[in-house]
A and B are shown apart, each in its own frame.
Chain A
Amino acid sequence: EAQVTQNPRYLITVTGKKLTVTCSQNMNHEYMSWYRQDPGLGLRQIYYSMNVEVTDKGDVPEGYKVSRKEKRNFPLILESPSPNQTSLYFCASSLRDRYKEPQHFGDGTRLSIL
């Protein structure tokens, strides 16, 4: 089954404790993104990757890192999480970085930073 898988689905942690949210897709997609969703603000792009070893900042990259060593995986790293990073996070992928391509989303990761 074609899918985008995120782990964990839920995480409660404390300020400053490094964490990684994994994202994997099995559709051989080139383009992958991370978004955060906050009430009243919709989905905002954090980082994106157009292919292996090619990443770039989205609209709200501060406090986050990403890597794309393999085509299928695109982990999101919070080196020193802070309470303002408490949010619902989504990973998404699409076949190519083109305006017509639909994005396929994972089921989300709810992060709470205390």
Chain B
Amino acid sequence: TQLLEQSPQFLSIQEGENLTVYCNSSSVFSSLQWYRQEPGEGPVLLVTVVTGGEVKKLKRLTFQFGDARKDSSLHITAAQPGDTGLYLCAGAEGSWGKLQFGAGTQVVVTP
């Protein structure tokens, strides 16, 4: 059973459209990280959120941490083909660095 549930599993959209990826859990996390992974490469960190209700923006990407620190979302505005990739959320429980990963959302943005 996955500790972190990501939805949807797969998302295919046209360039210019918006999309939202969700990451949900019944556990409370000290921090929630989002990574993007491209074929043949390891995941690369996009953002870390640590405070309940926190919203962080990274250009066209908006990340939100739920008030209860059990869920998070990633919203991409006006998606571009370069946003194509596997998006992974990962949560840390307690004070330590051990991460639990979701299964990922594969995003495909076509021109």
Instruction: Give complex CA distance A102, B48 in Å.
Output: 8
Asked if A43 contacts B95 (CB within 8 A), the reply is no
Interface centre among A48, A105, A106 (most CB of B within 10 A): A105
Asked if A44 contacts B101 (CB within 8 A), the reply is yes
Asked if B97 contacts A42 (CB within 8 A), the reply is no
Residues from chain B with Cβ under 8 Å of A98 in the complex? 95-97
Residues from chain A with Cβ under 8 Å of B9 in the complex? 40
Stretch with Cβ within 8 A of B (4 or more), from A12-20, A61-69, A79-87, A88-96: A88-96
Asked if B44 contacts A105 (CB within 8 A), the reply is yes
- B40 touches A (CB below 8 Å): yes
Asked if B101 contacts A42 (CB within 8 A), the reply is yes
- B111 touches A (CB below 8 Å): no
Asked if A107 contacts B95 (CB within 8 A), the reply is no
Contact of A97 among B40, B45, B97, B101 (CB under 8 A): B97
- A31 touches B (CB below 8 Å): yes
Asked if A99 contacts B94 (CB within 8 A), the reply is yes
Instruction: Give complex CA distance A103, B78 in Å.
Output: 28
Given A42-B2, A99-B94, residue A105 in contact with residue B31 (CB < 8 A): no
Number of A residues near B (Cβ < 8 Å) is 27
Give chain A nearest CB distance to B50 CB in angstroms.
6
Given A102-B33, A105-B42, residue A31 in contact with residue B88 (CB < 8 A): no
Residue of A nearest to B103 (CB): A42
Contact of B101 among A43, A101, A102 (CB under 8 A): A43
Give chain A nearest CB distance to B5 CB in angstroms.
10
Residue of A nearest to B95 (CB): A99
Instruction: Give complex CA distance A96, B40 in Å.
Output: 26
Contact of B88 among A42, A44, A104 (CB under 8 A): A42
- B62 touches A (CB below 8 Å): no
Instruction: Give complex CA distance A48, B98 in Å.
Output: 8
Q: B-side interface residues toward A, CB under 8 Å? A: 2, 4, 9, 30-31, 33, 40-45, 48, 50, 88, 90, 92-99, 101-104
Top 6 closest pairs, chain A to chain B, by CB: A105-B42, A99-B92, A42-B103, A43-B101, A99-B30, A102-B45
